[in-house]
Structure 1
Amino acid sequence: MRFAEDSGLWTTGPGPDAVQLSAVLEVSGAVLSWSVDGPESDVHIAFTDPVRADWLWRVVGESAHSAIVSALGGVPDGQVEVEGVAVRPAALDSLRRLALGHWMRRWWPASVRDGIPELGAAVLDGELALLTAAAGDYFVDDTFDSDVAELLRPHAELLEGLARLGDPRVAELARACAELAADIGVEAGPAAVAVQSRRDDYALVAGEVTRRGAAAIAAGVASVSWAAVPPGVFDAAENTVSWRVESADDVANAVVLVELSGRASAAGIAVRVRSGAVDGAGTLDASGAATVALVGEDQAPITESVAWGRDWRDTAVTIGADVGESPQVRQRVRTFARARLARPGPDAFLAELLAAESDY
């Protein structure tokens, strides 16, 4: 097996091509990652500390483990070849599933418009807590993904409530999570509040935006870059951002509205509108709406007459951070999610099964 230096770490080579498609798990001494829609056997390993990776013998065998630790003992530089070493993919099945569950927490493309249902956060986090506890040998050190208590604490009361709805699978999950919480001394935090889809809210807000002010000087749509915003806030479809340039008191503003997923507030998330030398920045309110003042290169407000006289076809609206992300990557994620819902496999989470069975 060949190891190469990458960003100051020994790795098994180039990692997955896009963060939105990478299932990542931090274990003791290393970070494991897989492409969610790639071969399950293709694991990428980046060692943060090979000596701390006490679990490695389970994956490559005891003699190979020793050889790897010995070979990677120096400062990462160039490449190192360790002969006779191969990863046993089956030994990583449970870790890949755990990584996939964490990926779902961040990247699952829930969308009213696309018909991709949300995954129940309480059920998914409960499953991940149980999987993490079962994989304790891989989390000798505290890592970003090893906090069982953090997974359980927000959902204990909600899981109990879901268990009373009559689904024996949820009841069994709730029971197991309650036992685990008792074992590690976790007290229930505030119960999560179930939020219904806010599609009607979108229509109401859009209606208010349409009615106010004069006719739009310009209008268009844009898409949210998933890597630029927190998870679970916005509908994951394309073209969920609508914008209009309007005038009030001879000053041009951009009115922006972003469709929400219904799971969280958009309050405080940045929005920026750019069109050539015209620029404007602000923040969304809880409903995903913002009115952004537009200024020119001299930072003077854009007047109505100037706004009517310019070409707005190059207008770009950015929600959240300014990051590069292609629509093709997002479409790959949607294709992957739909395939899992249509044909649940042996690694399916109960949260996925419940979503697939729903009448969403």
Structure 2
Amino acid sequence: MKLVVDTGLWRTDTEAEAAPLAAVLEVSGAVLAWTVDDPDPSAPPALTFTDPARADWLWRVTGERGHVELLSALEDGPDRAVEVADLQLLAAPLAPLRKLALGHWLRRWWPASRRDGIALLDAALLDAEIAVLTAAAEAFFTDDTLDSDVAELLAPHAAALASHARSGDSRVRTLAQAALELGEQNGIDAPDLVDAGRGRREDYALAAGGGNRSGALVIADGVDSVRWAGVPASTFDAAEDTVDWSIEVADAAVVAAVRVALTGSGDPAGIAVRLVSAAVNATGVLDSSGTARLPVFDSGDRPLTEAVAWNHDWSTTAVTVGVPVGESAQTRARLRAFARARLTTATADAFLAEVLAADSLY
């Protein structure tokens, strides 16, 4: 095994793709990352040590001798690289960690889309299974990490899990009951009566594609796409071209109307939106329906006049929803293909939420 120094931290020379193509898990003293659509489930992770001394689980994935040799090499080795001969990470003890990393990826990046036919995952059941798996892997979480907080996973879903615990589906019932017991151990009380649908958008809300609803005069229109890494999870439809924009004249004022397709339980209210077309720009925030009407300004930050708007070339118009990020359409297409494959082909590491989503397609 070869280790190198990267931005001041030791890491193995195995590399994983960057987000959103990486499934990442922070354990005590280290961060593990796998390329999410790697066809080999036993492929070793990219391992970055945040504090090797805290990684007291390391012997479980290297063997006791490997643990000693690795820590000794890191302490005594050169500043930039070190080689530990005949040392490999063991696939079997890493398998549950890989599944946990995948679960966190599903929480953040699952590309639910009405337009693309990729079903929503039940957030309560997904977080419940991640919590149960985290508790089972407690030896890897001997101190607090970003991914070790079981209570944080379960607290938002107490009501839904209480309802699931009375499900006629034994798989759902068993998981929900286990999660509720785990929640009680972590100080979360399950309510007696619940509304299973509360706090969740059961049907996909499609705000985009509705055309001009204001009755205003439309000068130009077009579409753009949401960059997943720039927005909160479980809020927007993950298909391409789900951002509709139009330049309109209403009451002698030029405005940019933006509509974004929604899905999941997230609230888009307050998420930034910016339209840019050469020197023309419009900035504001979405409302809870995923829409915004924005005043349009010229290069001098003056309100754009109707005459200038009619003569402007709008062909280069781009709309950014959320934080600007560099993310390609090819990356998003690759992850949609991965999601579809998980819904159509049984995998050993499937979460119950995925299994139920696949069942809903038939």
TM bucket by the smaller chain?
over 0.9
Shift of 1:249: 3.4
Task: State the secondary structure of the residue aligned to 1:33.
Answer: strand
Which residue is 1:147 aligned to?
Answer: 149
Task: State the secondary structure of the residue aligned to 1:217.
Answer: strand
- Structure 2 residue 225 is matched with structure 1 residue 206: no
Shift of 1:270: 0.3
Which residue is 1:344 aligned to?
Answer: 346
Distance 1:157 1:211, change over 3 A: closer
Farther off after superposition, 71-80 or 336-345? 71-80
Which of 249, 264, 267 pairs up with 1:265?
A: 267
Contact 1:31 1:46 in 2 (8 A): yes
Give distance in 1, aligned partners of 2:78 and 2:356: 45
Distance 1:198 1:100, change over 3 A: closer
- Structure 2 residue 26 is matched with structure 1 residue 26: yes
Give distance in 2, aligned partners of 1:229 and 1:140: 32
Contact 1:18 1:329 in 2 (8 A): no
Which residue is 1:7 aligned to?
Answer: 7
The residue identity in structure 2 corresponding to 1:212 is G
Give distance in 2, aligned partners of 1:226 and 1:90: 32
- How many residues align? The count is 356
Which residue is 2:73 aligned to?
Answer: 71
Q: Which aligned pairs between 1:123-202 and structure 2 lie closer than 5 A? A: 123-188=125-190, 192-199=198-205, 202=207
Residues 104-141 of structure 1, C-alpha deviations (whole Å, 9 max, x = no match): 00000000110100110000011011100000000001
Which of 92, 95, 98 pairs up with 2:97?
A: 95
Contact 1:294 1:302 in 2 (8 A): yes
Shift of 1:165: 3.2
Which of 106, 114, 117 pairs up with 1:115?
A: 117
Point out where structure 2 has 5 or more consecutive residues left out of the alignment.
Answer: none
TM-score scaled by length of structure 2: 0.94
Which residue is 1:313 aligned to?
Answer: 315
> Cα RMSD over matched residues?
1.9
Task: State the secondary structure of the residue aligned to 1:169.
Answer: helix
Shift of 1:198: 4.0
Shift of 1:293: 1.1
Residues 299-341 of structure 1, C-alpha deviations (whole Å, 9 max, x = no match): 1111010010111000010000011100110011111111011
The residue identity in structure 2 corresponding to 1:158 is A
Give distance in 1, aligned partners of 2:264 and 2:108: 16
Point out where structure 1 has 5 or more consecutive residues left out of the alignment.
Answer: none
The residue identity in structure 2 corresponding to 1:210 is R
The residue identity in structure 1 corresponding to 2:128 is G
Residues 181-235 of structure 1, C-alpha deviations (whole Å, 9 max, x = no match): 2233323489753322244x637x935x434211x11100000000000000000
Distance 1:79 1:356, change over 3 A: same
Give distance in 1, aligned partners of 2:308 and 2:46: 54
Task: State the secondary structure of the residue aligned to 2:75.
Answer: coil
Give distance in 2, aligned partners of 1:318 and 1:78: 40
Farther off after superposition, 228-237 or 65-74? 65-74
The residue identity in structure 2 corresponding to 1:102 is H
Shift of 1:77: 3.5
Identity over aligned pairs, percent: 53
Contact 1:5 1:76 in 2 (8 A): no
Task: State the secondary structure of the residue aligned to 1:206.
Answer: coil
Shift of 1:67: 1.3
